[in-house]
Structure 1
């Protein structure tokens, strides 16, 4: 097809685009304000939350307490309750804060806590902060609040398109993101898991919602998590908000705008949560009000990638040059398995090294089950295309594969009530080993989590915690998904429903041929190690 002749207007647009790219490529990070080292507040029985969890800090056996939180409404209730009852400090570290009802509600509650005298530290990855600067500046204008950004964008902050130009101009730096999710109140109670702070992670979106998981914890593991937070907060790759987003407005003007953007008209108060969760326990807000926060005793340990993982020199991958990553620690834990491994993850790309690892585990007789998103329901289709290339070999090895499907969710009476008309997608990230311990956190099972992004995880050990996780994800009674199998005697993949009807499909369910073709073409140009 011949090229269209260049018009003066099109030439001007090209020049403008080239100029923006040049500016983006040349814009470096500003000087980082050097601030005194800021440590976490330690748990104390002088605070309400410290008093409720004191037993886990007074013991000498290293036992922590945990609560499994698979239900979105109760996970959001827990966060709001902890903010409202905090008396000393709130430390939040997140990959994504939504410019929606949930994100605005969280910010408003943090403001109210700061007004009570609570120290608020909010650390955000800067990738998804488009349009958030006015609210962040407004919150930071309140006493007792400090906000910092991980590996920030310097130019083009106001629009997604200009951020992508900046991303292209500084790809080697901006491609590294902080994927951690951590919430700590008064140094006494923490929440870790897969959820970001946005509507779709708490079943509040009309379009699509996530099946996700959080763990609430107290005791020695929270002390470890606070150390991790401090390492990031004081890291050289983290910048104070005002270094990146200077403002000439008065604090009063910033606060007034913040109050308008996060008012109850913009983000209504939460409706009362269910009276109990799926395990029969009351909401965290109710438990705190009753002065009795019951947690499951567990041995737990927190691990996280070094924040300087984002600054690794290309090719410098020798273990002696850097601390072990969360992904490497996870693979080492898999080698300790004696009977079975259950992996639940939205994105699964084992890669050649992962396939070799699976082969070694299967050779020892370890049963491996993987649950991930189907092509039709993933929010990252290119990841799914790469996962697809490993399915046949995994099935030959005897790996059990399940794929989550909105169409199957709609066939389940209970889940249909939860998701209503929205699509349902898997976002939880956990591995269950020998039904005795679990690794829960932000880590996806793909190259981006292993080599590019920073991640955080907590290992929980104990029968009761492990079996609540098994129950939460119906590991022993799988429904509302497809089981992926090989057609007997062939390498052809089939999808079998798990709702008791055992319907067999011979083509990728719920995804049309045009979608599959487009994704296949795109997959030729996007290296799997960037996914």
Structure 2
């Protein structure tokens, strides 16, 4: 864009943006309206705030009792399925006796999110202090709900992180103005996801508060992973939350211009009634979380006793002027000390320069560790723009860095969704939707036939950039089969089968430079083996395609490799159509009884090439994936 035109747009847009803040007087008035309306009634006077028995909350008591200052003890539980992750949250919220701190990037108003929100309100009314911190880019998109929460109860506080021009719901003009005037400031997002109960039990990982993170969406669900930790390290989680809560970018919801104007004009509205799309499913999930025996059997009983646990989290000053270091510090050091094996799982395989350097150093060793990477295919990803940039560097990742790369399928044969959910009371009754359309019975989202025309309505966690507001291409692409599909969203790392890492960090430039992130690091062989088994399930042949060099390049092998390598390094031109590596499907048989690594002599005999973009319905939108490798290298740091 030419400088004169840019200046003209700034002149036109900035006055609109500047008025998007309440004056100090109006802000104080709006806050006073909210404070005056807050209910102060507490319906329980007992010290434990009438919390029902919580098996997961009880793990903390056991961990603290077994701990000593020099020898802390913890319990850790991998939450692989969406149903387990939601039950765990409900159990902990109901079992809270003092405080609940919830920090998240996305908070929707659909069935799962509203169920959690209603539980938070119930906890506040029985006397538990509840603090809710949501990033503005994906906060609850309903001003009535936000205004109602501002004045709901004295024990509940809501703050919005880094609001664009002081608004809960910016419009396109505000986003455009932020691109022109202050792109970095408004593109820095709080990507942390954290639930802390009584400073004793915490959950972090990839899941936000939206149906597609709990297998409840009808078109697209995330294969995600959280970790629950009970014990002394949770105090560090609580301290980190407190830093964000006190940061100047965490703004009380009543101070936002659009919410404040509503409060001044109408007072605090009533909370809109919950209207779940599938009330039977919500009721059944609520009943499961209320059954201590089921929660103990399904969740608490599977928690692993572990020793030292570290919480590596960015501080909010990562977003302040002059601060450039970040990205959950310590991850690069962990990787650099790998000796035998690295298992890396990320939904968006776009490596930062620092990550490439670490993997090059590992590769250059006399005996380099094996590096296995699980990521999305184009058919599975919620973000084809980012996939295009990982596609650009597929040769480098496979040949130069030595990755054994696997791309997740959109319709995995063995996803971490219990197909029977026999542990659910009343599961045989089924919801109003036919059971054949619900993977995992009454708690799942649909895996049966669905109309193709719903593709453009998919809700996804787009990368937190301003592309979210306007780019329809930044959604899952159409695929050749109908039905609900899955996309990988888990962010995990296993080093030498002795260290396991689960968190919010995507191991990419955006996580290092723009987002704030957090991970839990557990040095325990049993935990690391359990996490490795979970990742290995995702790269099994029924769930993922293997990526390997082509057996017979379509043009002269040397020419194809050389041209591809040269153009790969070009920031503005990369139109070479033949890639060094492509996707393969395992074909078992008498001579191929088990999957093979790509370096095995018989690999190409047991694996059939399925093309660069298997199961993608090629059309005009797919051209974006071809075009962005040519012109999108400069977007790597922000996407």
What is the CA–CA distance in structure 1 between the aligned matches of 2:415 and 2:303, rounded to whole Å? 34
State the Cα distance separating 1:235 from its structure 2 match: 1.1
Tell me the residue number matched to 2:44: none
Q: Measure how far apart 1:325 and its partner are.
A: 3.5
Distance 1:203 1:356 in 2: 37
Q: Which residue of 1 aligns with 2:585?
A: 497
- Counterpart secondary structure, 1:121: strand
Q: 1:389-468 alignment to 2 at 5 Å? A: 389-397=392-400, 398-409=402-413, 417-418=439-440, 420=447, 421-468=483-530
- Displacement after TM superposition at 1:291 (Å): 12
Note the C-alpha offset of 1:67. 0.7
1:230–1:413 Cα change, 3 Å: closer
Given the alignment of the two structures, is residue 527 of structure 1 paired with residue 635 of structure 2, yes or no? Answer: yes
String of CA shifts for 1:460-493, please: whole Å, max 9, x gaps: 1212211221222335845311101001474432
Q: Which residue of 2 aligns with 1:66?
A: 76
Q: Distance in 1 between matches of 2:398 and 2:298?
A: 50
The 1:467–1:241 alpha-carbon spacing in structure 2 relative to 1, beyond 3 Å, is same
- Please name the residue that 1:37 is paired with: none
Q: Which residue number corresponds to residue 56 of structure 1? A: 63
2:205 corresponds to? 193
Instruction: Please give the alpha-carbon distance, in whole angstroms, between the structure 1 residues aligned to 2:352 and 2:300.
Output: 46
The more displaced of 285-294 and 471-480 is 285-294
In the TM superposition, residue 65 of structure 1 has moved relative to its aligned partner by: 0.8
Shift of 1:157: 4.2
Question: Distance in 1 between the 2:174 and 2:417 partners?
Answer: 42
Instruction: Give deviations 1:403-445, integer Å, cap 9, x for gaps.
Output: 1121454999988945612111000001111111111110012
Where does residue 550 of structure 2 map in the other structure?
A: 487
Task: Tell me which residue corresponds to 2:316.
Answer: 307
Contact persistence 1:378–1:384 (CA under 8 A): yes
- Distance in 1 (alpha carbons) for counterparts of 2:158 and 2:583: 47
Cα gap change, 1:228/1:509 in structure 2, threshold over 3 Å: closer, same or farther? same
2:363 is the counterpart of 1:362:
yes
Q: Is the deviation greater in 286-295 or in 199-208?
A: 286-295
User: Residue 568 of structure 2 corresponds to which residue in structure 1?
Assistant: none
TM-score, reference length from structure 2: 0.70
**In 1, Cα distance between equivalents of 2:416 and 2:227:** 25
Aligned equivalent of 1:338:
339
- Offset, 1:358: 1.2
Q: Is 1:242 matched up with 2:254?
A: yes
Q: Residues 122-521 of structure 1 correspond to what in structure 2 (within 5 A)?
A: 122-129=132-139, 131-141=141-151, 142-154=153-165, 157-158=168-169, 161-168=172-179, 169-244=181-256, 245-246=259-260, 249=263, 254=268, 256=270, 258=271, 260-262=272-274, 270-272=282-284, 286-287=294-295, 295-298=303-306, 299-313=308-322, 317=324, 325-326=327-328, 328-364=329-365, 365-397=368-400, 398-409=402-413, 417-418=439-440, 420=447, 421-475=483-537, 477-488=540-551, 490=557, 491=561, 492-498=580-586, 500=588, 502-511=607-616, 512=618, 514-521=620-627
CA shift at 1:395, angstroms?
1.3
Aligned CA RMSD, in angstroms, stands at 3.6
Contact kept in structure 2, 1:64 and 1:218, CA below 8 Å: yes
- 2:111–2:277 Cα contact (<8 Å) kept: no
Change (3 A) 1:157 1:343: same
Partner of 1:89: 99
Structure 2 matches for 1:39-50, cutoff 5 A? Answer: none
Matched, 1:98 2:108: yes
Cα offset for 1:130? 5.8
Q: CA deviation at 1:164?
A: 2.8
Number of residue pairs aligned between Structure 1 and Structure 2: 494
In structure 2, the residue corresponding to 1:227 is in which secondary structure? Answer: helix
Question: Per the alignment, do residues 26 and 255 of structure 1 end up closer, same or farther by CA in structure 2, a change over 3 Å counting?
Answer: closer
User: Per the alignment, in what secondary structure is the counterpart of residue 512 of structure 2?
Assistant: helix
1:346-379: CA deviation from partner (whole Å, max 9, x where unpaired): 0111144432321211222111011111122211
> 394-403 vs 70-79, which deviates more?
394-403
Q: Once structures 1 and 2 are overlaid, which stretch shifts more, 209-218 or 168-177?
A: 168-177
CA distance in 2, matches of 1:163, 1:81: 40
Q: Give a deviation string over 1:225-247, Cα, whole Å, max 9, x none.
A: 11111111111221111111315
Change in Cα spacing, 1:267 to 1:229, as seen in structure 2 (3 Å) is: farther
Range with greater deviation from structure 2 (521-530 or 406-415): 406-415
Structure 1 CA distance, aligned partners of 2:418 and 2:241? 38
Q: Output one character per residue of 1:176-200: Cα deviation in whole Å (capped at 9) or x when no partner.
A: 0000000012222111110000000
Task: Please say if residues 25 and 166 of structure 1, whose CA atoms lie closer than 8 Å, have aligned partners that are also in contact.
Answer: no
Residue equivalent to 1:23: 16
CA 1:134–1:267 in 2, change beyond 3 Å: closer, same or farther? farther
Unaligned runs of 5+ in 1: 1-14, 35-43, 277-281
| 8 A contact 2:88–2:299 mirrored in 1 | no
Shift of 1:497: 1.5
